[in-house]
Amino acid sequence: MTPGARESELLRTLPSVEVLATSLAPLPAPLAVRAARQAIAERRAALLAGESSGAEDLTARALEIAAAWQLPSLVAVVNATGVIVHTNLGRAPLARAALEAVAATAGAYSNLEYQLDTGERGSRQAHVAELVCDLTGAEAALVVNNCAAAVLLAAAALASGREVVVSRGQLVEIGGSFRVPDVVEQSGARLVEVGTTNRTRLDDYRRAIGPDTGAIMRAHPSNFRTVGFVEEVEIEPLCELARERGVSVIDDVGSGAVAAGVPELAGEPPVRRSVTAGCDLVCFSGDKLLGGPQAGIIAGRAEAVARCASHPLARALRIDKLSLAALEATLRIYGDPAEAVRAVPVLRMLTAGEAELSGRAELMRGMLSEAGVTVDVLAATARVGGGALPLLELRGPACAVDPGPVGYHELARRLRGNRPAVIGRARDGWLLLDPRTLDDDGARTAAAAVAAALSPA
């Protein structure tokens, strides 16, 4: 029999999708058909590639496929990378109070847009606006679904059809290839660039402001810094110039530095400073340094915020009830600055001390050594991540694992397949488990997963 004839003969032994799907009861019919179709397609591809037919059980394979499809795709992972606000891993983990607020709101009806005292319709913004104002010193506040949306809405409300003046050094690209010029363009405003990439002076803004200017925009270059022969205009003189010329100021401060008494945040522009300087609107994120859910927060003058609230885009960009519940709970924690450092995970990780980190690293080393894994504790550097404080190096210990003959990439693959998945980082072919982004339970989970992944069994 020729090779082609043999392949044809083997292909004829494959069952039809209908027959295989019938054998998968009691799976729901649509799921059974999908799983059967994939299992047969895999087997057909293997036969055409010249693999022997073997004794593979297609029913078992189809059941495996169906079982995998029924598992959730979005799952919790253990972040051992040392990157605190890790965009790929969901950015800021929520405080316990925020988690409880989400659970309570998600499992029941709520007064999202209902005033319990009067029985009339209310605004979802009422649950957080006053808290934002207390935290930032603003006259009014509005919350949307992320910071890019906040900037888009601010520009649309204050400068649509007019000019927005921006320093060339601030025409930055944020995550996912979204760029400030693109956001401004979508708002309906026209961008006017001033200065150069490294030096922009107050006179550059002064010359650019004309009768068609709607706003000056300042965009914080969150994920990079320009050093050396540089100059930029501070927010106070920029606001003073805007008042003299009768134009608005929109300040996109990015990550949202609002915590008091945290020296590690010194490299980020404080939200309160921009509000105090007189910005019409200040935009910042809820899920970065604030340590809350994904949200874009707008704080500023009452009239400017009201224009945002009444703009048609406000409804399209509005925050959902679960994020709102988490944000309210997070903002309430900030009423006590000391409690915020203890209770908000991002701040707690950012300010973690040497003793705490060393204890956690030694915990992992002990567990791994007992399992026969070659391991050491080394000095390492963690990062804030999320486009915040790119020059800040958070020094501390990390648990370094020798993957041995398995190799780093295979070990990392096995850890990704663990449940929960454990994500670390590479260093000279070793796996680093950074205790800064772990709590004690997470450290135990990470060490146990590595021990299992390197076990000869």
What pLDDT digit, counting tens, does each position of 410-447 carry?
999 999 999 999 999 999 999 999 999 999 999 999 99
Helical (H) or strand (E) element with 181: helix 180-186
The SS3 assignment for 13 reads coil
Tokens of 204: 């550059």
The span from the CA of 32 to the CA of 22, in Å, is 8
Say what the pTM is.
0.90
CA 113/CA 225 separation, integer angstroms: 42
Report the pLDDT averaged over residues 398-407.
Answer: 96
The helix (run of H) or strand (run of E) holding residue 301 is: none
Give the Cα separation of 155 and 153 in Å (integer). Answer: 6
What's the whole-number mean pLDDT along residues 42-48? 87
**55: pLDDT confidence band, cut at 50, 70 and 90?**
very low
Cα–Cα distance measured from residue 311 to residue 379, given in angstroms and rounded to the nearest whole number: 51
Q: Are residues 391 and 267 in contact, defined by beta-carbon separation less than 8 angstroms?
A: yes
Rounded mean pLDDT, 338-348:
96
* pLDDT range class, residue 313, cuts 50, 70, 90: very high
Lowest mean pLDDT of 45-49, 357-361, 430-434, name the range. Answer: 45-49
* CATH code assigned to 96-343: 3.40.640.10
Of the listed ranges 153-157, 226-230, 277-281, the least confidently predicted one is: 226-230
C-beta separation of 255 from 286 below 8 A: no
In three-state secondary structure terms, 294 is: coil
* Residues 132 and 298: beta-carbon distance below 8 Å: no
Cβ atoms of 427 and 434 within 8 Å: the answer is no
Q: What does the pLDDT read at residue 231?
A: 87
Separation of alpha carbons 178 and 41, rounded Å: 39
pLDDT of residue 126 exceeding 90: yes
- Those residues whose C-beta lies under 8 Å from the C-beta of residue 429, and which sit 6 or more positions away, are 403, 407, 408
Does the domain made of 77-86+349-453 have the CATH classification 1.10.260.40?
no
Sequence letter at residue 15: P
Could you say which DSSP state residue 15 is in?
P
Give the pLDDT score at 420: 95
The alpha carbon of residue 30 and the mean position of all alpha carbons in its chain are separated, in whole angstroms, by: 34
- Cα diameter, the chain: 92
Q: Do the beta carbons of residue 260 and residue 337 sit within 8 Å?
A: yes
Domain ranges across the chain: 3-68, 77-86+349-453, 96-343
